[in-house]
């Protein structure tokens, strides 16, 4: 960092401005005398006039140049002073740190030192494993894109959100801002409201408020309650027992203790304070409660009897209507007297009139239980509880309905509370779906790996058998059929790897319209002439980073699905549209919720007018092997492959459908903000530029735990003249090398019991540093990159044929020996 500083030397101090009065008189007199002297001496008036004109011209030019502004002094750069930087970033509410490209801590403020210590530069902070991984991804994204943000990282019971941004003239520094996550505190918010605006507003209507802890101690009280209880509106009641302010007579009438027996009876209203983010009903024994007290005769007309609570009901209804809590009142017979807007919204009926009975809101199986609970709380002694019910609007998600018996409100006998769980239910479904897809993806990846081992043995055995049969043999065609079926199964495993996000991608920075244009003609041939095909592109689309080949597969799979959904539309109404659109950051959150982070996206929409997808199937369409097509007409891997490719490319995919009207798939790719035209490729194993024929033989150590795969590979290599030593696991392979045997190449599986391939390779390299390795695995190379990333390493995916393993071994030995 350099600090800009402008300096001015003593020689550059401004002089007296040229052209003041005395200067002009002196110069004019000298000029006239010079002209006269020349005229008298020479006697030539023409010569004197020429001299005078030249002098005037030169003088004028000098005067103009002198009047011009002197140039500004050149700025200088002071030496870096990090103490100034530390003073500038000193913040009490957030930690600020600067690191260089080597990950070294350059400077940090005092808050960072107190929270994390100077021995832990970001992203290597003392966090939970999940938080450390999130922070590491944020650092990589910030170095790549210029800025990145982690919404939540945790360590124990503390949580932070972090933001990193590149800085410096050469983008050689990363500036981190880490702030603590402030969890919402509904009790604190309610305490402030009771002490403030809410308490003052209700005091005008004669209603007193108090926030009371489960042990009965007052946490906060309104000025109206302090006035009624003590006569002093400024009295501090926090910490006092709430019951000490009241008295109860033999008729169970409640009055203010200060007003004695002759005071007006009070109506006490009890509302447990609920956390909006807590799915369960509040427990009065463990959460604070909001207590409302009003005179039982408030607002009573001349004809009203003292102590009649009916007149208090309108005031109470007006209060409940303004509260954000979902509250309703019912009588002793279970009829619903009142429900505020929050209650109806939580019940899935926003803007509607309350039904006659609370039981009308729930499914048929829960009606009796709810009716009995309402009558029990309305007719017995005042009590509180909750019951789990299923609403008609969401029968698959039980909700908790709280009930509390109240007295002194006339017909109103039961208070019902219901939290609006719409957003919570939606998020729970999204999280559950994402977790399920993640689990299924891991399972699919494991199945693909094991299946690849089986296919390697089948395909290799077929290849060896074909070496002994000619096209005229009776068994030749059968072997070819087995081999073709095995290759078809291998393509299915590749789709499973795509779904589980374990395939190797070659991402490039590209424009979506270019990809669509390249395959438009092929798409037209796929869908036929009966379907009207439309392609529309938005302007100023941002570039995206994805594998163009895999992106083409995504579009083709979606188009084929749309074509099949419109197969029965022979009336000319079949229409398929592909649209690319620019999605600004301001338009993201309201459209797709929390699963689509705010930011700029380039979106691809594939929309058809087909039969649509039933709602019960809409959440399952991306699962592997799930299909609604007839038997034999679909594998159920098309959409699962699309899902895996989009997710592995950093994008998001959503499906919206309505029966009889069609389906729309929306894919959002984050706009790539890196240098235009750059292509980032996934790390791949070094391979020879040209295959080299190696016919010199050699000694090979073959390490494979699967007996059938090991047998196929051994026979294939032995037929080519190699001397092959086989080992069933990594420990046995290491023992052969430790005995002093020399090998030209080690061919090894990656995942093995006891000692895996990478661990064996590291130990062998200690004994023979320059020996080459050829790893083979049913997992994708990118999935194993961290484990097998060292020099002179090559990779071969399973399943492989006899020709592939012999050619690959020849290429590796040719590169090493050649």
**Residues 383-425: tens digit of each pLDDT:** 777 888 888 887 877 888 888 887 666 666 788 888 765 555 6
**Residues forming a β-bridge with 504:** none
Rounded CA separation 752/805 (Å):
19
The secondary structure of residue 192, as a DSSP letter, is H
Other beta carbons within 10 angstroms of residue 705's beta carbon come to 20
**627: region left, alpha or beta (phi > 0 left; psi from -120 to 50 alpha):** beta
Terminal-to-terminal C-alpha distance of the chain: 51
Which among 655, 637, 635 is positioned nearest to 645, based on CA atoms? 637
Alpha helices in 205-307 (DSSP H): 223-230
Structure tokens at 497: 């790897």
Which among 765, 697, 709 is positioned nearest to 733, based on CA atoms? 765
**Residue 37 has what pLDDT?**
66
What are the phi and psi torsion angles at 52 (to 5°)?
-65, -40
Other beta carbons within 10 angstroms of residue 613's beta carbon come to 21
DSSP track, 467-529: TT--TTSTTHHHHHHHHHHHHHHHHHHHHHHHHTT-SPP--EEE-HHHHHHHHHHHHHHHH-S
Structure tokens at 499: 């779904």
Rounded CA separation 407/309 (Å):
9
Q: pLDDT under 70 in the chain at which residues?
A: 1-83, 86, 156-157, 182-191, 204-205, 250-252, 274-286, 296-324, 380-382, 407-412, 420-449, 491-506, 570-571, 585-595, 624-638, 674-696, 779-786, 817-818
Contacts of 528 (CB under 8 A, 6+ apart): 563
**Residue 690 has what pLDDT?**
45
Structure tokens at 525: 């041939």
Q: Are the C-beta atoms of residues 682 and 782 closer than 8 Å to each other?
A: yes
Rounded CA separation 242/158 (Å):
34
- What is the crossing angle of helices 802-817 and 422-466, to 10°? 90
- In order of 99, 273, 354, the CA distances from 402 in angstroms are 53, 12, 17
Structure tokens at 798: 């399973």
**Residue 791 has what pLDDT?**
81
Task: Give 52-61's long-range contacts (Cβ < 8 A, gap of 24+).
Answer: 55/31, 56/31, 59/27, 59/31
Rounded CA separation 663/653 (Å):
13
**Residue 592 has what pLDDT?**
45
What are the phi and psi torsion angles at 395 (to 5°)?
-65, -15
Strand order in the sheet with 601-608: 532-537, 575-583, 601-608, 662-670, 652-658
Q: Are the C-beta atoms of residues 731 and 480 closer than 8 Å to each other?
A: no
**Residue 724 has what pLDDT?**
92
Other beta carbons within 10 angstroms of residue 57's beta carbon come to 10
Rounded CA separation 96/90 (Å):
8
């Amino acid at each position: 960092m350099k600090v800009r500083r402008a300096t001015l030397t003593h020689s550059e101090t401004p002089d007296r401005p040229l052209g003041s009065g005395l200067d002009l008189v002196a110069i004019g007199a000298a000029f006239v005398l010079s002209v006269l002297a020349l005229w008298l001496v020479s006697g030539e008036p023409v010569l004197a006039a020429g001299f005078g004109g030249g002098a005037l011209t030169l003088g004028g030019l000098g005067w103009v140049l002198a009047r011009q502004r002197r140039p500004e002094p050149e700025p200088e750069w002071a030496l870096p002073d990090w103490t100034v930087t530390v003073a500038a970033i000193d913040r009490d509410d957030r930690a600020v740190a600067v690191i260089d490209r080597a990950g070294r801590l350059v400077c940090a403020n005092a808050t960072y030192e107190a929270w994390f210590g100077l021995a832990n530069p970001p992203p290597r902070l003392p966090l939970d494993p999940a938080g450390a991984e999130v922070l590491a991804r944020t650092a990589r994204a910030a170095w790549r894109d210029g800025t990145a943000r982690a919404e939540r990282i945790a360590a124990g019971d503390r949580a932070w959100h972090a933001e990193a941004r590149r800085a410096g003239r050469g983008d050689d520094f990363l500036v981190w801002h880490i702030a603590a996550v402030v969890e919402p505190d509904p009790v604190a918010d309610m305490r402030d409201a009771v002490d403030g605006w809410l308490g003052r507003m209700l005091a005008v209507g004669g209603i007193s408020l108090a926030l009371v802890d489960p042990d009965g101690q007052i946490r906060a009280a309104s000025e109206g309650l302090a006035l009624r209880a003590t006569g002093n509106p400024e009295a501090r009641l926090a910490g006092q027992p709430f019951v000490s302010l009241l008295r109860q007579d033999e008729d169970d009438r409640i009055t203010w203790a200060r007003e004695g027996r002759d005071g007006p009876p009070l109506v006490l209203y009890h509302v447990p304070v609920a956390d909006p983010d807590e799915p369960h009903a509040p427990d009065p024994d463990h959460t604070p409660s909001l207590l409302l007290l009003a005179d039982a005769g408030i607002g009573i007309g001349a004809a009203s009897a003292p102590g009649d609570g009916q007149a208090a009901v309108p005031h109470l209804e007006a209060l409940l209507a303004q509260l954000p809590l979902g509250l309703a009142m019912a009588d002793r017979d279970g009829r619903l007297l009142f429900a505020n807007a929050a209650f109806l919204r939580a019940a899935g009926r926003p803007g509607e009139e309350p039904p006659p009975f609370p039981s009308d809101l729930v499914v048929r199986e829960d009606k009796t239980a709810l009716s009995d609970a309402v009558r029990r709380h309305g007719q017995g002694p005042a009590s509180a509880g909750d019951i789990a019910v299923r609403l008609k609007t969401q029968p698959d998600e039980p909700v908790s309905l709280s009930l509390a018996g109240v007295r002194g409100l006339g017909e109103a006998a039961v208070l019902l509370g219901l939290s609006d769980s719409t957003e919570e239910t939606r998020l729970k479904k999204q999280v559950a779906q994402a977790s399920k897809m993640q689990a299924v993806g891991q399972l699919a990846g494991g199945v693909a790996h094991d299946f690849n081992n089986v296919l390697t043995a089948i395909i290799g055995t077929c290849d060896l058998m074909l070496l002994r049969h000619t096209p005229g043999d009776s068994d030749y065609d059968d072997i070819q059929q087995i081999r073709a079926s095995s290759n078809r199964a291998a393509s299915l495993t590749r789709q499973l790897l795509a779904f589980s996000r374990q395939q190797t991608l070659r991402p490039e920075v590209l424009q979506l319209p270019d990809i669509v244009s390249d395959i438009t003609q092929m798409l037209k041939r796929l869908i036929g002439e009966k379907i009207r095909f439309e392609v529309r592109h938005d302007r100023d689309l941002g570039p995206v980073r994805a594998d163009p080949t895999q992106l083409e597969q995504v579009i083709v799979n979606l188009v084929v699905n749309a074509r099949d959904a419109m197969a029965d539309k022979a009336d000319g109404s079949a229409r398929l549209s592909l649209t690319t659109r620019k999605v600004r950051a301001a338009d993201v959150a309201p459209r797709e919720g929390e699963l689509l982070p705010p930011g700029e996206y380039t979106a691809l929409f594939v929309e058809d007018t087909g039969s649509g997808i039933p709602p019960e199937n809409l959440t399952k369409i991306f699962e592997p092997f799930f299909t609604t097509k007839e038997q034999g007409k679909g594998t159920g891997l098309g959409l699962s492959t699309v899902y895996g490719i989009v997710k592995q490319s950093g994008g998001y995919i959503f499906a919206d459908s309505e029966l009889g009207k069609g389906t729309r798939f929306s894919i959002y790719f984050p706009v790539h903000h890196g240098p235009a035209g750059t292509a980032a490729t996934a790390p791949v194993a070094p391979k020879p530029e040209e295959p080299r024929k190696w016919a010199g033989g050699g000694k090979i150590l073959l390490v494979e735990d699967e007996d059938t795969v090991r047998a196929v590979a051994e026979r294939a290599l032995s037929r080519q003249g190699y001397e092959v030593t086989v080992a069933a696991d990594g420990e046995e392979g290491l023992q052969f090398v430790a005995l002093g045997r020399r090998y030209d190449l080690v061919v090894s599986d990656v995942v093995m019991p006891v000692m895996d391939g990478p661990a064996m390779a590291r130990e062998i390299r200690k004994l023979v540093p320059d020996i080459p390795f050829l790893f083979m695995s049913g997992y994708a190379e990118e999935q194993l990159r961290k484990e097998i990333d060292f020099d002179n390493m090559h990779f071969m995916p399973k399943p492989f044929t006899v020709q592939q393993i012999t050619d690959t071994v020849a290429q590796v030995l040719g590169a090493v020996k050649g």
